[in-house]
Amino acid sequence: MVKIGVLVSGGGTNLQALLDAQKRGEIPDGEITLVIASRKKAYALERARMAGVPALALPRRDYENPADYDAALLTALQEAGVELVVLAGFLCVLGEKMLKGYEGRIVNVHPSLIPAFCGDGFYGLHVHEAALERGVKVTGATVHLVNEVTDGGPILLQKAVEVLESDTPESLQKRVMEQAEWVLLPKAVSMLCQKIEKEKHQ
């Protein structure tokens, strides 16, 4: 069974999608064993506790520089025996230590069809605002592996979502989450767990 660590910053809706999928038996080779939030007040911590998953706050502001924060993250994950790291609305950029420590084993969900509306500065509502400003008719979500380029790692899964004329950034965000992010992320996590489990037994 692959131990999964989920990194969050806010409400944790993608974490909830993973917890629900796990409950339904959709991640047969993995188990969420740790949730780390970059903010003490992140509601995601409460979601983890309600699901009986160990959770801790590791506030970014407690660390003077990004490298120290990165090292603290890596230590917390490794001490818990985490084998796969999932970024579920985690708003801190990972540094070299994390990327090397979990190379090929960090996955992120992004609320657009990469390469559209991605990279530095494109997160949360900003992505949907940009999509509406551009006038695109289709947007969606992408699950990709994480490397040193923001939203630049290999793409695992994508799903398109129609943009409606009446859409606001908020309504579009909600639909992309429900129709794409919450569907793709558990699927990708399950795929990666299967792959890691296979590698263990080779």
Tokens of 14: 């993608």
Which one-letter DSSP state was computed for residue 130?
A: H
- Contact at 8 Å (CB) between 37 and 8? yes
Distance in angstroms (rounded) separating the CA atoms of residues 28 and 1: 8
pLDDT tens, N- to C-terminus, the chain (202 residues): 999 999 999 999 999 999 999 999 999 999 999 999 999 999 999 999 999 999 999 999 999 999 999 999 999 999 999 999 999 999 888 999 999 999 999 999 999 999 999 988 888 899 999 999 999 999 999 999 999 998 899 999 999 999 999 999 999 999 999 999 999 999 999 999 999 999 988 8
| Confidence (pLDDT) at 92 | 87
Domains observed in the chain: 2-200 (3.40.50.170)
* CA 168 to mean position of chain CA atoms: 23
| Confidence (pLDDT) at 163 | 98
Q: Which of 158, 196, 172, 186 is nearest to 32 (CA)?
A: 186
144 in catalytic set: no
Backbone angles phi, psi at 88, to 5 degrees: -120, 80
Mark out the alpha helices in 80-139 (DSSP H runs): 96-101, 125-134
Is the C-alpha dihedral spanning 152, 177, 60, 36 positive or negative?
Answer: negative
| Confidence (pLDDT) at 201 | 87
Q: Report the amino acid identity of residue 201.
A: H
Among 110, 126, 128, 201, the active-site one is 110
The HSE-up count of residue 126 (CA atoms within 13 Å, CB side) is 10
Distance in angstroms (rounded) separating the CA atoms of residues 94 and 48: 22
Three-class SS state of 34: strand
The HSE-up count of residue 43 (CA atoms within 13 Å, CB side) is 6
Distance in angstroms (rounded) separating the CA atoms of residues 98 and 100: 5
Distance in angstroms (rounded) separating the CA atoms of residues 64 and 142: 32
C-alpha distances out from residue 165 to 61, 129, 161, 178, Å: 40, 13, 13, 18
pTM for this structure? 0.95
Edge-to-edge strand list for the sheet holding 155-162: 55-57, 30-37, 2-8, 84-87, 106-110, 138-145, 155-162
